[in-house]
Amino acid sequence: MRIAKSVLIQPGRNAAFAIPAVALSLFSFAYSIKFGQVAILLYYALWLPLIAVDYKKVLGSHGRYLWIYAFAALAFLSVFWSAVPSISLRASIQYLTQVICALIAVRVLDVRTLTMGMIAGVGIVLVYSLLFGYYEYDPLDGTFSFVGAFASKNQLGFYASLGLIVSFAAVFIFGERRLWMAASGVVGLLSAYCLIACQSATSVLTTAVVIALMMGLRVVLALTPDHRKLLVVGGGVAVIILAVAGVYLGAVDAVLGIFGKDSTLTGRTYLWQQGIEAAKQSPAVGIGYQAYWVQGFSEPERLWEEFFITSRSGFHFHNTYIETAVELGLAGVITLAAMLLRILWGHLRRVIEDSRNDESYLMFSIAVLLTIRSFVEIDILTPYNVGTFLFFFTAGKLATVRRQSAVSAWQRRRSPEPVTQ
């Protein structure tokens, strides 16, 4: 029996394959540490074989993706000056292959299908955590938090944040009804429960900000493109003023106090200081991708002991830019920051200028989530991570050729383009 190519690789017509593929990818990312190579091989098996179906369609013209590969290429090149070349080589190859898979997903997924797949995937991940998860004592702040089946409450919180965002998007951006509206409601409730149970201040605050942003964009999109620009500029200035005023008036400490945190962010400010000192040892290009947190090195051993990390693994500086500065130096920080700013500005510009652009509406919201979290987590720096996948997916969608902006995603689904088999 022959299977039409469109069933596998045609965006908008391959939901039967694409939704489970996205869901299983999220499960693989979430529990790759628990299931090991099986989870990683499953992820590769979902995306890489699509090249054999139609390599021209699946790979496309990679000339426009060169800027997207820049950070992964720098990580790979760091093997030549790494303090531990074998670790940097393995990790950079893993990172690069995840970038390739994410860009394959860009070619075969539309954002509606991605959203449905993420709803299913987050639902599976959270149910698994509720069934097999546990509470963990945090010796730094003296509290017990639900970490699910993860090693960190912040990772559980990240998936809960994504669950709320995509549930909102399914109903209010893509207008889903019936089955997917019900699924969005269930996953949204699960996500809200897990967000409360894990007590992750980072996840709660970032989710609140992004949901508020998405609701605000709905108001902005009711205006004409010209009026949108004025409102966005004015709103942006107002947010900056309020943020600065909040810092000086003590609003930050008040908010942190609600979550039982202090101004040191439970020791993170000290950790950041240590990271900055480590980055000074090789400020230009760093010590190599993932070559710092290595057992046997004196400084990471000291920090593991100070922060009660008995496993002596799975730790980081809790800041994307400091972690990057240590591993890849100023070159890495500039490359990563430039990519992130390009993604944010590119999708925001499409949202403002196009009559309706559901794709950039969601991609910009996800990019904002990743940007905010980048100051306290390293979601986009490691391979086999949902943050890394979404970072490069949003970049890939920005690099793709723009369709007629006045046509909504719903109209495109009603009138799919003909497929040549």
pLDDT at res. 230:
81
Q: How many angstroms separate the CA atoms of 300 and 380, rounded?
A: 21
Q: How many angstroms separate the CA atoms of 257 and 261, rounded?
A: 5
pLDDT at res. 235:
77
pLDDT at res. 413:
47
Which run of H or of E encompasses 122? Answer: helix 111-132
Whether pTM > 0.75 for this model: the answer is yes
Within a 10 A sphere around the Cβ of 73, how many other Cβ atoms?
Answer: 15
pLDDT at res. 151:
83
Q: What is the pLDDT along the chain (421 residues), one digit of tens a residue?
A: 566 777 788 898 899 999 999 999 999 999 998 998 999 999 999 999 999 988 888 887 777 889 999 999 999 999 999 999 999 999 999 999 999 999 999 999 999 999 999 999 999 999 999 999 988 877 666 677 889 999 888 999 999 999 999 999 999 999 998 999 999 999 999 999 999 998 888 899 999 999 999 998 888 888 888 788 888 777 777 777 877 676 566 566 666 666 666 656 667 889 999 999 999 999 999 999 999 999 999 999 999 988 888 888 878 999 999 999 999 999 999 999 999 999 999 999 999 988 889 999 999 999 999 999 999 999 999 999 999 999 999 999 999 865 444 344 444 444 444 444 3
Q: Among 156, 43, 19, 164, which Cα is nearest to 99's?
A: 43
Contact 187, 122 (CB under 8 A): yes
pLDDT at res. 421:
37
SS3 for 277? helix
Task: Determine the angle formed by the axes of helices 37-47 and 15-30, rounding to 10 degrees.
Answer: 150
Token output for 402: 């723009």
Contact 120, 183 (CB under 8 A): yes
Q: Among 167, 155, 154, 171, which Cα is nearest to 117's?
A: 167
Query: For 269-278, which contacts have Cβ atoms below 8 Å and span 24 or more sequence positions?
Result: 271/303, 271/307, 271/317, 271/318, 272/317, 272/318, 272/319, 272/322, 274/299, 274/303, 274/317, 275/317, 275/319, 275/322, 275/323, 275/325, 275/326, 276/322, 276/325, 278/326
Torsion sign, CA atoms 28, 316, 252, 387: negative
Sketch the domain layout of the chain as residue ranges: 65-99+267-399
